[in-house]
């Protein structure tokens, strides 16, 4: 693909130069049409049985994006009280939120219990604490309901740092500890309504996920009367789309998932609600970052283009060596990728690891160009920082009708000073 921006009509007819002259750089730019399309796709992963897709909001917690998820019929999973609060503010009712924390305090559990948000406990010690909180709050037995997170014993993901299942990771309860789940549940009169897992993030081959589904369904047979089973998220997106990388094979995945569910339903005797927890798939591709090239130079034969998209704006490349495709925009138009020169696209942060793209064949950049970083909607703004005292970027949404709307104003230095 020569240009994703042109092919997808990402800016919906708006001139990107006009957008940044109105809102500045660095700027997160979202496309509502693409976001809705991806959210719709995940809502259809299982159609034969009761199913909900829980959008995993850690990928992107912008309230306007959450409102789109609400309209698309998605439920959500939250990792913290902050995420629960923003979901409430976006209009999600408590029964459309699943709290999947790890290592949380008593206060956080009490918050979830008091607000009636279904909570998954990720260790025996947290299950014990949850039971204790229920007793302290003198909760009736009917209200003492929760889920437990099982460590699937296997994991998958785009980088070792995002693999969450497997024997060495901190997440979930090991299969051999299941008898103790029942003991703690008995002690505190808890009902285990659901089990959940998450193997990792950003895989393109569905097989490890399908294996993990098979595995958790085998484990589920040990639990009576489960109301739901949550298979986790992790579906990848093609970060190398300019090199024609294919989409996550959603249709093939769905076809292979169905017989696994058929087999379980026949054995279990009842049909629980099935859930998944996709984050990245919902939001990654519906966003680009526009940054200005402020300087170019050659250091010992290496070409550098220096932008205002530092690791404070997008940390994924420096944190995980993640690849984000880059397009170059000059005078409002995408520069065709006909003649490419190896360049390093870097930010303005005082770290040598502040690199967005290393020795990347790109159209030769000039000062004043815009660098357009693709697939930035997941774990982009939600992981950004104010390192080097740089206020955080603004976010705009291009609506279905092509209007550009600010969905988060740019942070200011005054905002940063306010905390002192
Ligand atoms: N459920 C649980 C329990 C999770 O821990 C995660 C992600 C998800 C669902 C959603 O996974 P997704 O569908 O987005 O892959 N910051 C990293 C990704 C870390 C993912 C953490 N957990 C990145 O930028 O690639």
pLDDT value for 70: 98
Least confident of 150-164, 173-187, 317-331, 354-368: 150-164
Residue 152 binned pLDDT confidence (cut-offs 50, 70, 90) = confident
Q: Which two tokens stand for residue 347?
A: 């930010």
Query: How much is the average pLDDT of 374-378?
Result: 98
- Distance (Å, whole) CA 234 – CA 56: 10
pLDDT value for 339: 95
Report the percentage of the chain scoring pLDDT > 90: 95
Average pLDDT, the chain: 96
> Considering 135, 350, 372, 384, which one is annotated as catalytic?
350
Atom of ligand 1 nearest to the CA of 159: 25
The CA 58 to ligand 1 mean position distance, Å, reads: 7
pLDDT value for 196: 97
pLDDT value for 258: 97
The CA 319 to ligand 1 mean position distance, Å, reads: 14
Residue 343 binned pLDDT confidence (cut-offs 50, 70, 90) = very high
- Distance (Å, whole) CA 91 – CA 110: 21
Which DSSP state fits 162? G
Strands 118-121 and 97-99: parallel
Residue 193 binned pLDDT confidence (cut-offs 50, 70, 90) = very high
pLDDT value for 163: 75
Q: Whose CA is nearest to atom 5 of ligand 1?
A: 198
The CA 280 to ligand 1 mean position distance, Å, reads: 7
Q: Which of 239, 170, 174, 240 is nearest to 200 (CA)?
A: 170
Q: Which of 242, 289, 322, 255 is nearest to 392 (CA)?
A: 289
- Distance (Å, whole) CA 357 – CA 343: 8
> Which single residue is written with the structure tokens 């986790």?
232
Q: Whose CA is nearest to atom 24 of ligand 1?
A: 379
The answer to whether the beta carbons of residues 224 and 360 sit under 8 Å apart is: no
For the chain, give percent helix, strand, coil, nearest 5.
35, 25, 40
Specify the 3-state DSSP secondary structure of 295. Answer: strand
Query: How much is the average pLDDT of 203-217?
Result: 95
The CA 162 to ligand 1 mean position distance, Å, reads: 7
The CA 196 to ligand 1 mean position distance, Å, reads: 14
pLDDT value for 165: 72
Residue 332 binned pLDDT confidence (cut-offs 50, 70, 90) = very high
Query: How much is the average pLDDT of 187-212?
Result: 96
Q: Is the pLDDT of residue 216 over 80?
A: yes
pTM, entire model: 0.97
Q: What is the pLDDT of residues 281-309, one digit of tens each?
A: 999 999 999 999 999 999 999 999 999 99
Atom of ligand 1 nearest to the CA of 149: 3
Kindly report the CATH number that applies to the domain delimited by 4-28+284-417. 2.40.37.10
- Distance (Å, whole) CA 358 – CA 344: 5
Pocket test for ligand 1, best of 233, 281, 289 (most atoms within 8 A of CB): 233
The CA 379 to ligand 1 mean position distance, Å, reads: 8
Between CA 39 and CA 41, with CA 40 as vertex, the angle to 5 degrees is 90
Atom of ligand 1 nearest to the CA of 316: 24
Pocket test for ligand 1, best of 56, 104, 162, 250 (most atoms within 8 A of CB): 56
Q: Which of 99, 78, 234 is nearest to 165 (CA)?
A: 234
DSSP 336-403: PSSS-EEEEEE-SSS-TT-EEEEEEEEPPP-TT-EEEE-S-SSSSGGG---GGGPPPPEEEEE-TTS-
Atom of ligand 1 nearest to the CA of 378: 24
Residue span(s) of the chain under CATH 2.40.37.10 come to 4-28+284-417
Pocket test for ligand 1, best of 65, 69, 279 (most atoms within 8 A of CB): 279
CB atoms inside a 10 Å sphere around CB 151: 23
pLDDT value for 161: 78
Q: Whose CA is nearest to atom 2 of ligand 1?
A: 198
Atom of ligand 1 nearest to the CA of 164: 5
- Distance (Å, whole) CA 185 – CA 146: 10
pLDDT value for 160: 80
Q: Is the pLDDT of residue 154 over 90?
A: no
Which DSSP state fits 308? S
Residue span(s) of the chain under CATH 3.20.20.10 come to 101-276
Q: What is the pLDDT of residues 43-84, one digit of tens each?
A: 999 999 999 999 999 999 999 999 999 999 999 999 999 999
The CA 120 to ligand 1 mean position distance, Å, reads: 16
Q: What is the pLDDT of residues 263-282, one digit of tens each?
A: 999 999 899 999 999 999 99
Length of the chain (residues): 420
For ligand 1, residues with CB inside 6 Å are: 56, 58-59, 77, 100, 162, 164, 198, 201-202, 232-235, 277-281, 316, 320, 378-379
pLDDT value for 162: 76
Q: What is the pLDDT of residues 17-44, one digit of tens each?
A: 999 999 999 999 999 999 999 999 999 9
- Distance (Å, whole) CA 327 – CA 93: 40
Atom of ligand 1 nearest to the CA of 100: 3
Q: Is 350 annotated as catalytic?
A: yes
- Distance (Å, whole) CA 248 – CA 47: 18
Query: How much is the average pLDDT of 191-213?
Result: 95
The class of domain 101-276 in CATH terms is alpha beta
Burial class of residue 66 (count of CB atoms within 10 Å of its CB; 0-12, 13-18, 19+) = buried
Residue 99 binned pLDDT confidence (cut-offs 50, 70, 90) = very high
Query: How much is the average pLDDT of 166-193?
Result: 93
């Amino acid at each position: 693909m020569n240009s994703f921006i042109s092919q997808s009509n990402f800016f919906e007819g708006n001139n990107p130069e006009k957008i940044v002259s109105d809102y500045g750089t660095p700027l997160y730019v979202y496309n509502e049409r693409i976001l809705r399309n991806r959210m719709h796709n995940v809502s259809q992963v299982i159609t034969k049985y009761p199913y909900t897709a829980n959008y995993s909001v850690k990928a992107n917690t912008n309230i306007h994006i959450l409102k789109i998820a609400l309209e698309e019929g998605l439920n959500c999973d939250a990792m913290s009280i902050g995420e629960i609060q923003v979901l409430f503010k976006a209009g999600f009712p408590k029964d459309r939120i699943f709290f999947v924390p790890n290592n949380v305090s008593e206060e956080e559990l009490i918050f979830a219990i008091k607000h009636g948000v279904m909570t998954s406990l990720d260790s025996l010690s947290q299950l014990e604490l949850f039971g204790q909180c229920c007793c302290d709050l003198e909760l009736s037995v009917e209200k003492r309901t929760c889920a437990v997170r099982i460590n699937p014993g296997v994991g998958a993901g785009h980088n070792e740092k995002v693999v969450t299942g497997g024997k060495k990771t901190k997440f979930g309860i090991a299969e051999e500890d299941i008898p103790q789940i029942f003991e703690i549940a008995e002690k505190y009169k808890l009902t285990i309504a659901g089990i959940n897992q998450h193997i990792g993030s950003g895989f393109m081959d569905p097989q490890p996920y399908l294996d993990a589904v098979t595995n958790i369904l085998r484990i589920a047979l040990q639990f009576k009367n489960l109301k739901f089973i949550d298979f986790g998220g992790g579906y990848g997106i093609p970060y190398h789309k300019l090199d024609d990388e294919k989409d996550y094979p959603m249709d093939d995945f769905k076809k292979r998932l169905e017989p696994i569910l058929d087999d379980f339903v026949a054995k279990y005797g009842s049909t629980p609600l099935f859930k998944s927890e996709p984050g990245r798939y919902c939001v990654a591709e519906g966003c680009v970052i526009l940054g200005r090239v402020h300087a170019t130079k050659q250091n010992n034969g290496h070409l550098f283009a220096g932008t205002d998209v530092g690791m404070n704006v997008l940390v994924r490349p420096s944190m995980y060596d993640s690849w984000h495709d880059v397009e170059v925009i000059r005078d409002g138009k995408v520069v065709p990728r006909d003649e490419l020169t190896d360049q390093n696209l870097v930010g303005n942060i005082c770290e040598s690891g502040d690199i967005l793209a290393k020795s990347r064949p790109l159209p030769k950049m000039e000062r004043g160009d815009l660098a357009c970083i693709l697939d930035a909607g997941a774990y982009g703004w939600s992981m950004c920082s104010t390192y080097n005292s740089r206020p955080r970027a603004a976010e705009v949404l291009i609506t279905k009708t092509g209007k550009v709307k600010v969905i988060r104003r740019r942070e200011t230095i005054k905002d940063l000073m306010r905390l002192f």
